[in-house]
């Protein structure tokens, strides 16, 4: 099995009425990535995605899909920049989007320290998308 297939996953969508990014949190949709349910089991993830058809039918969300995360001390960090940016807001406008509304929390310090230990070079915040 490829590495990608074993990554934990999160279920996401956009809210119909305003387009805002939301995450499945087990019993409904949350606005913050930190509240998202993390699926370790691909089958459970697929089942949740199927189940989300109901939210679509009920006109709560549109465009449901799963994306991969890696766990860093229990904190889910999206594998792709795209999902980091969806979770936070535009990287070029830190004053806008969830990052400006208290809906995007950077990972705990120990996660950053751990990251610094395992990657060569200076300590890097895994949520840091600066270029």
Partner 1 sequence: MYRYDEFDARFVAERVEQFAGQVARRLAGELSEDEFKPLRLMNGLYLQLHAYMLRIAVPYGTLAPRQLRKLADVARRFDKGYGHFTTRTNMQLNWPRLADVPAILRELATVEMHAIQTSGNCIRNVTADHFAGATPEEIEDPRPLCEIIRQWSSLHPEFTFLARKFKIAVGATVHDRAALLYHDMAVEIVKNAEGRTGYRVSAGGGMGRTPYIAQLMCEFVEREDILAYLEAVLRVYNQDSRRDNIHKQRIKILVNAIGAEEMRRRVAREFEEIKAQGYLRLPQEELDRIAAYFAPPKFEPIAEPVAEYEAARTKDKRFADWCAHNLAAHRAPGYAIATISLKPIGGVPGDCTSEQMEAIADLMDAFGLAEIRVSHEQNLVLPHVKKRDLPAIFARLSELGLATPNAGLVTDIICCPGLDYCDLANARSIPIAQKIAGRFADLKRQEEIGELKIKMSGCINACGHHHAGHIGILGVDKKGVEHYQLQLGGSGAEDAAIGEIMGPGFTAKEITDAVERVVDEYLRLRQPGERFLDTYRRVGMEPFKNVAYLEQLHAAY
The site for partner 1 (CB under 8 A) is made up of 14, 16-21, 56, 58-59, 62-63, 79-82, 85-86, 89-93, 96-97, 130-131
Question: Both ends of the chain: CA-CA distance in Å?
Answer: 32
**Helix, strand, or coil here: 10?**
strand
Q: Are the CB atoms for 11 and 63 separated by under 8 Å?
A: no
What's the min distance (Å) between Cβ of 94 and partner 1? 11
Least Å distance between CB 19 and partner 1?
A: 4
Closer CB to partner 1, 5 or 43, in the complex: 5
Are the C-beta atoms of 15 and 8 separated by less than 8 Å? no
Comparison of 53 and 109: residue with beta carbon closer to partner 1: 53
Q: Which is nearer to partner 1, 35 or 108 (CB)?
A: 35
The Cα–Cα gap between 105 and 33 comes to 8
């Amino acid at each position: 099995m490829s590495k990608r297939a074993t990554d934990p996953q999160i279920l996401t969508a956009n809210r119909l009425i305003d387009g805002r990014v939301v995450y499945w949190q087990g019993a409904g949709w949350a606005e913050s990535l930190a509240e998202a349910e993390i699926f370790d089991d691909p089958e459970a993830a697929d089942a949740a995605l199927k189940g989300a058809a109901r939210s679509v039918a009920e006109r709560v969300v549109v465009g449901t899909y799963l994306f991969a995360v890696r766990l860093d001390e229990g904190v889910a960090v999206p594998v792709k920049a795209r999902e980091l940016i969806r979770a936070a807001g535009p990287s070029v406008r830190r004053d806008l989007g969830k990052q400006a509304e208290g809906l995007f929390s950077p990972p705990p310090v120990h996660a950053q320290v751990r990251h610094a230990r395992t990657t060569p070079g200076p300590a890097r915040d895994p949520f840091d998308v600066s270029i």
